[in-house]
Copies of this chain bind each other. A is one copy, B any other.
Amino acid sequence: MGVRRTGAADSRTRILDAAEALFADRGYEASSTARIAGRAQVPKGLVFHYFPQKIDVLVALVDERTFVEDAPDEPAEAVPGDPAGTLSRLAGRLPLHASPAMRRILFREADTHRSVRDRLGHLNSVLFLRARRALEIALPGARGDQARLEAAAATFAAVLIYQENLAGLTGQHLDPDAVADLITRALGA
């Protein structure tokens, strides 16, 4: 309510910080509310003062700590005649604002918690629409049919979304720029 001292976040913030770290590290189910409270250095009861149910902590994290930018009509990265650069810039500036920890949570909990899955689905659709629009602008000649362009956009969106997860799980590093190059060639002159 008033000025906040530097370094002394309020209790609610500390709870969310702790939960974010723990959920990312070991998963939602394996992170007890007692442990969250302990890491946040607040009494156990306070967690439930702010979040009546444990799931509300996860929901709050997704709501407050992930943000998906809407797809604009004219994506800034789109440059006519430069599809490779366009995709590369899109990769460099993902319309998802979330810490690495939140990104792990988004993937790990998506298939059991609807609110998380919804956020991830939204991200995918925004990414897909943006990639498609950017490609349309970058390739004014509309070379290739629309279906091909959609497949290209969907593939690129999927690569952007899963690349981090893939690297973490399998060690395989998939370079978005290399994929951008492939897609440009596939659609290209």
Residues of A whose CB lies within 8 Å of any CB of B are 26-27, 29-30, 104, 107-108, 110-112, 117, 120-121, 124-125, 128, 147-148, 151-152, 154-155, 157-159, 161-163, 166, 168-172, 174-175, 178-179, 181-187
Contacts and interface: CB of A to CB of B under 8 A. Distances in A.
- Copies of this chain, complex-wide, total 4
A158 B162 CA distance: 8
7 contacts: A29-B29, A120-B169, A124-B166, A125-B170, A147-B178, A161-B166, A185-B185
A174 B186 contact: no
Contact of A128 (B30, B117, B151, B172): B172
Contacts of A186: 181-186
